[in-house]
Amino acid sequence: MWHFPNCIGAIDEKHINIECPINSGSTFFNYKGSHSVVLLALVDADYKFIAVDVGSYGRNSDGGIFSKSTIGKRLSSNTFNVPKPIPITENIYHILSRARRVVENAFGILAARWRCFRKNLEVQPEFVDKIVLSSCCLHNMLCGDNAFEPEDTSTQNTESALTNLDFLRRNCTRDAFNIREKFKEYFISEVGRVPWQLDRVRKGRNT
C-alpha cells in the first residue's frame, strides 16, 4: 500500500507517561525528564497493531527494550511467522520515512481516541499495562473509522529521507547494513526511483 517492497510493518516505541510509582526511584524516569512505561508496537499499513509489547521501564534504551521484548525474541528466533521475501523486481518505489510514519500515525490516533494518553496516568504500572493493551485492541476494532485518517504526504519530508544515511550505520550488523544498501540502490535505480526525488534532494542541499 505504501510502495515499499518486502516491508511487513513499521516498529517504534511510545512512552506512556505515568505518575512516579511508589518506591520506584529512577526506574521509570526517562530521557525526557518524566516517568513512563514503554509501548513497543509493530504496525501494518492500515495503522493496526500487529504486535505490541508494553511494560518496559522508561529509563531503558530502545535497543534493550527491543531485544528483551517478545517481538524482538521471536524475530531473532525466526518464530514470528514472517513471510519469505521476494526479489525486488516490480516497478514500485518509495522512501522509508513514508512507510515508517504509519507507526507514528497509529500512536497519534491512539492518543486522539483516548485522551488519557495525553497526560500522566495516575495508576500503578501493572494497571498501565492493562489499560494500554486494552486500548490497542479497541484501536484495531475501530480502524474502519476514517475519522482520524492522516492526510497523504507522498512528497513531504523527502529531503531528510533521501539524503546521506551513513549516520544510521552506528552499531548495526553487517547483514542489516547490506540490506539497507540493497534498498538504497533500488530506490535510486531507473526502476525504483520517482521522477521528483533528485530535484527534492538538490533543493534541500541548496537551501
Cα–Cα distances in angstroms (integers) from residue 130 to residues 13, 28, 76, 116, 188, in the given order: 17, 17, 26, 14, 45
Averaging pLDDT over each range in 93-97, 167-171, 174-178, which range is the top one?
174-178
Report, as an integer, the average pLDDT of 108-119. 92
Quickly state the pLDDT bin for 128 (edges 50, 70, 90).
very high
DSSP 137: H
Residues 6+ apart with CB under 8 A from 145: none
Per-residue model confidence (pLDDT) at position 91:
44
Per-residue model confidence (pLDDT) at position 204:
56
Residues 6+ apart with CB under 8 A from 148: 108, 109, 112, 113
Averaging pLDDT over each range in 60-69, 83-92, 197-206, which range is the top one?
60-69
Owner of C-alpha cell 525526557: 32
Per-residue model confidence (pLDDT) at position 109:
93
Cα-Cα-Cα-Cα dihedral sign, residues 183, 189, 191, 196 = positive
Per-residue model confidence (pLDDT) at position 145:
56
All structural domains of the chain with their residue ranges: 10-154, 155-207
- Structural contact between residues 98 and 10, judged by C-beta atoms closer than 8 angstroms: no
Q: Give yes or no for residue 73 having a pLDDT over 70.
A: yes
